[in-house]
């Protein structure tokens, strides 16, 4: 197929040039109602159209949306690929609901995103959690050890498949090829939340793509690493083991019936961008990146951290001596330098994919970072890891999702929570990975970890006021 085409974008540009008069939704009427009061927004809303003749329908595509999705599938080499306008969250829901049925035993990487945990509950499967490996230097939870996958299959012979995250939020990618082989040897399916890896299909020096390694279903957050709008993602079907009819049923049920055309246009453009990215562009991107990293590392007290596994070069893990990641994030923001996330030790910077001769604000950023570090000098520190070392690397919930649906909840002090069954997730965000899951027993180690995150000023999702007051939700 001709990857130079951008069919949905081209169709909408043609529509706008026809000077249409709107007697249909949306209510801004081709942006006319906002043209004088909000001119900048009005220009953007010109592209906010609906399912009109010639503009196709995401839920029954037969025109430019179908062409755009076919080009997406052609680039990644999949059986079928789809646009997602509700983010990778909806992709994870679709994957799990279409691949498994209620009661199925499913292996799940313990540090998956909360959207996967929610999908497991909706699907009413029997999850078996596999603890991730911990990088000893970054204190970051990575992928799972293939030996644990083998052990889990030995314990549970009727497992239907595995759900993993690859890479993690920090760009670390590990052992996926071996894990896919193990799952397929046991006639299972493997679903991969590859939200942060839509550019891996470019090949080296990036980690290998889950699609190229043979995963059965993969979700990409195009908006995370490609030039797509927030909530723009891709869903890929990559084997005959997945029912297309089930996928398309849940696709229609879970996605908005009024999908955003600006998001879909951006997905079409993002595919065009990456599909036409060449070796020269990759080299230019990495040269710009390396120059930035070298300058950072020449600053006193700054360290760009490398873990023990394969690392996406566009994810920088940065420390500043004597400062927690949260403190570093805060002081950088004083100079309008905004990082992707912080944890107790470091911040994560996501760098751009640059086509040849594109200019990015690296030099401006370095000046501003230097200004910050002139005000906040490095100081002595001792980093202490805040990761739970579980006693049981393979675990399941003590209550089924059906049982939890009929239970009442109460809030109890931390001191009374040990050995009780949690009724709500406790999630530092980002990266949105739960410390405690509903239906699992609360241990003293996890209570200690939560306290340490609170003391480190971590942000949590959910009913944070009660958590910060020293209470945990449990089942009666």
Of the given ranges (56-70, 136-150, 195-209), which has the lowest mean pLDDT?
136-150
Instruction: Taking residues 253-263, report their average pLDDT.
Output: 97
Residue 205: asked if its preceding bond is cis (omega within 30°), the reply is yes
Q: What is residue 102's predicted lDDT score, i.e. its pLDDT?
A: 96
CB 101 within 8 A of CB 268: no
- C-alpha 102/C-alpha 89 separation (Å) is 20
Instruction: Taking residues 391-395, report their average pLDDT.
Output: 83
Q: What is the DSSP string of 81-133?
A: EEEESSHHHHHHHHHHHHH--TT-EEEEETT--HHHHHHHHHHT-EEEEEPPP
Torsion from C-alpha of 308, 317, 92, 393, nearest 10 degrees: 40
Give pLDDT tens digits for 262-321. 999 999 999 999 999 999 999 999 999 999 999 999 999 999 998 667 999 999 999 999
Q: Strands 80-84 and 233-237, how do they pair?
A: antiparallel
Of the given ranges (194-203, 282-291, 423-432), which has the lowest mean pLDDT?
423-432
Q: 77: helix, coil or strand? A: coil
Question: Taking 90 as the threshold, does the pLDDT of residue 139 lie above it?
Answer: no
Of the given ranges (108-122, 216-230, 374-388, 442-456), which has the lowest mean pLDDT?
374-388
Cβ count near 94 (within 10 Å)? 28
**pLDDT band, very low/low/confident/very high, at 134 (cuts 50, 70, 90):** confident
CB 350 within 8 A of CB 360: no
Beta bridge partners of residue 218, listed in sequence order: 192, 236
- C-alpha 60/C-alpha 40 separation (Å) is 32
């Amino acid at each position: 197929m001709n990857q130079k085409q951008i069919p949905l974008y081209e169709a909408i540009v043609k529509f706008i040039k026809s000077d249409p008069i709107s007697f249909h939704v949306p209510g801004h009427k081709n942006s006319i109602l906002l043209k004088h009061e909000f001119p900048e927004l009005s220009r953007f809303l010109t592209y906010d159209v609906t399912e009109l003749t010639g503009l196709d329908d995401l839920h029954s595509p037969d025109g430019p949306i179908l062409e755009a999705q076919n080009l997406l599938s052609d680039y990644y080499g999949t059986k079928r690929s789809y646009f997602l306008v509700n983010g990778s969250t909806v992709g994870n829901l679709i994957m799990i609901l279409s691949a498994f049925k209620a009661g199925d035993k499913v292996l799940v990487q313990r540090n998956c995103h909360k959207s996967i945990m929610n999908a497991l509950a909706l699907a009413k499967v029997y999850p078996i959690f596999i603890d991730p490996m911990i990088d000893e230097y970054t204190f970051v939870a990575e992928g799972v050890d293939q030996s644990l996958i083998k052990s889990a299959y030995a314990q549970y012979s009727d497992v239907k498949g595995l759900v993993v995250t690859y890479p993690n939020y920090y760009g670390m990618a590990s052992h996926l090829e071996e894990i896919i082989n193990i799952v397929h040897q046991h006639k299972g399916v493997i679903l991969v939340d590859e939200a942060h890896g839509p550019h891996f299909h470019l090949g080296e020096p990036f980690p290998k793509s889950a699609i190229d390694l043979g995963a059965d279903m993969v979700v990409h957050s195009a908006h995370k690493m490609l030039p797509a709008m927030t909530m723009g993602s891709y869903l890929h079907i990559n084997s005959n083991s997945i029912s297309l009819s089930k996928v398309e049923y849940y696709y229609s049920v879970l996605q908005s019936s009024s999908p955003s055309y600006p998001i879909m246009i951006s997905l079409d453009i993002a595919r065009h961008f990456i599909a036409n990215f060449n070796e020269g562009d990759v080299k230019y991107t990495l040269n710009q990146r390396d120059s930035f990293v070298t300058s950072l590392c020449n600053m006193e007290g700054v360290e760009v951290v490398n873990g023990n596994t394969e690392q996406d070069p566009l994810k920088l893990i940065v420390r500043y001596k004597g400062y927690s990641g949260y403190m570093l994030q805060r002081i950088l923001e004083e100079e309008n330098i905004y990082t992707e996330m912080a944890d107790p030790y470091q911040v994560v910077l996501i760098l751009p994919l640059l086509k040849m001769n594109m200019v990015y604000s690296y030099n401006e950023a370095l000046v501003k970072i230097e200004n910050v570090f002139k005000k906040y000098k490095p100081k002595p520190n001792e980093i202490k890891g805040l990761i739970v070392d579980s006693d049981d690397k393979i675990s399941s919930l003590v209550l089924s999702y059906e049982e939890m649906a009929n239970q009442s909840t109460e809030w109890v002090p931390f001191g009374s929570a040990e050995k009780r069954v949690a009724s709500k997730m406790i999630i530092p965000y980002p990266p949105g990975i739960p410390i405690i899951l509903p239906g699992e027993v609360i241990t003293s180690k996890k209570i200690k970890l939560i306290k340490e995150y609170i003391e480190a000023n971590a942000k949590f999702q959910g009913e944070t006021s009660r958590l910060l007051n020293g209470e945990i939700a449990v089942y009666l």
